[in-house]
Structure 1
Amino acid sequence: MDFSIKTTLGISSLVLCTHFAANASDVVYAPAFCAPEHLVVSIANKTSEPQRVWTQVRFEEEIQEMHHDLEPKSKISLRGSEFLATKMGFSLKSWNKNTLQITASCEDSPSIPLSDLTSSQVSHWLPSSVKSVKIHLLNLFLKSNQIKLKAFSRAGALVEEKELNLEKYYDTSSMKWTFPSKIARIEVEGQERLNSILLYDLNGEEKISPAMALKPVQLSADTKKTYFLVSTKESRPEEAFVIALEDAQMIATAREQIRNPQLEKIVVAGIELGHGGFNRAFLARDKSPYSWSVNRVDAFADFAHIDCDGSPDLTEERLLQKINEGGRICFWRYRVVKELSTQEVASGKLKP
């Protein structure tokens, strides 16, 4: 059963979206790799419960969303022209993690599994050496994103490299890349978050090479600051972010919350664009740096206004809105849970 409704969410509607903060949702991304009239998105509900999915199309400060409900163990197909007016990148958001399988295809192209990978450093491996690939890159940063592409032979030798710039949020770059000799791996390295799709030809049939983040992106954490992980207190939390403190009293207060969890203080803070060298999605599969960071902690409070509630991922998703509204966060369910070493922050690897 399909209950479709189209909504436009402007900067004043962030508070209406905070219901997402209660559940850790999934967002997958699709670069603009074909015209809407040729695009088909297939969505399968893998669970025995009803599920909901939103298409998300960005227009500067607004996100246009259209939702569809899926019955248990059901499948639906969406034409690109149902939610896209022109060829452009988009995302799809599901209510709960690991419940939906989402693929996209273009006429005779293979079915491409859409990925939630947002790491700025990924590799595409080719099971058979090839001399030509098609690559689609999607910028997930609010400003320009400088990207380097490197192609390697099976022996690990650099065959060819390219540089390109994606100037705007959700800009796509699509290209066919032909090499002077066979290659077995392509590295994609951006300055900020991105998503990529790579296709290659195998015996006349087009195949997909999924992006893989082999290790967390290395950050340049400042050794003069003291870092803390902020997350929910569930047995298996799914989202977390990092704050950096310099004020001795603030540091002492944060440490006291770790020693005395009953304090239950909310971090009330201001944010700015950029990960700041320390903020990353520590509990995500790829440990991807966020596009935002806390630039000041105003208080550790008992109560906070609902307008600044939310979650780290929701803040990333609605970042332009959040910054334009003053850039304040106060996630009600999130607490300081762990002090981090500079090495943990830089490497993205938490010590036991």
Structure 2
Amino acid sequence: MSKLFILLALSLTTLNTTWAKPNSRFIIGAKYPNTEAEGTRPVYSKAIAPDHNSFKGGYNDLLPFVTASPDQENAGSCLFMSSTGIVEWWHAKMNPQLTSSEDRDLSERYFMNLSKEGLDNDLNYWPTDMIYALNKRGKIYRNEDYRYTKGWYKKVNGKRVPALENEDGAYYGVPFSWISLYKNLDAPMVKLPKFEREIIFKDPAENRWNVTTAPKDIVSKIKRMIKKRNAPVLAIYNHVGFWHATMIVGFNDHASTEGCPFVGTYDERMNKRADEIVEEANLAQTQAQKKKLLRKAKNFRRRGKQVEDSYQANGGCSSKGVFYVRDSIYSDPDMPLYDYDLTNSGEETNLNAPVILREYEWAEQLINHAYQIYPL
């Protein structure tokens, strides 16, 4: 099953009916660590699912071209899910004659493979410049032909390779998608325009875990950039201790923040994670490992307090004002199943919600990079 594409012909009213719930509710998502250095356990968080009032009076022009992403699960692929999502968005907008969802649904896996093949080795700063790696090829497969998938893999000399189910050290899951297996693929590729990117804000220390470093007017800056090209913005932020990348596809000054569920509980959840890290430290086999983990726990508490202090100093939670966000970690039980592995059954997961809502305070406190990708 391909990712769901919201047909261009749908009116905004139909879009609201398709995406919105009868009443606003929360979706639970699992964010896994990007690397073992970040941790070993996923962190769960709530996101606001839009209701029928969420789009009223908002900046909704981008919504007809948004695709719903498969759940990235534990691949650590958020930057590629978001970057490919933006390329898909432009592909749909620039080619309104395409009527098949399969033709609009592009391969995150191919983009991931380019990184593993070293096409990003000469980039000045890959968190903001990754789109230039795709420019080197200028084309991409459709997801239908080279899908974001699950398979059996193991690590040999630190590199993932295909494995058999019963092999020692073999695992099954989406990290299989990092393995390049398209060399002999007999499928047409989609030609892409050259892309450029304009940076809105980059953390001064180039730290993807930093918090409260965004300019005071970051919300206004993101809104202006969305309006400038009528196009999405890619944001990187600290997701309860893990860095995460996502797409901002609109905003609404009039929609309820539902009590700021992400930022309002951030300090509490960072302290909970710090407690877990302390437990891990107490089980460490060496003093060096223990000290490293205790420093990590201390940094979690520091960043949590930093966010809470800044959040309260700015007046706490506003009652209204949200960004529309297309994410890759909020599988929605009301969405169709995505079939990762066509040779298997039982591994399917519901697609992510096409759009979740994030309070403006999320951007003010947690975003550390923001930029816009656009075709030349």
Do they superpose with TM above 0.5?
no
TM, length-normalised to structure 1: 0.23
1 or 2, which has the higher strand percentage?
1
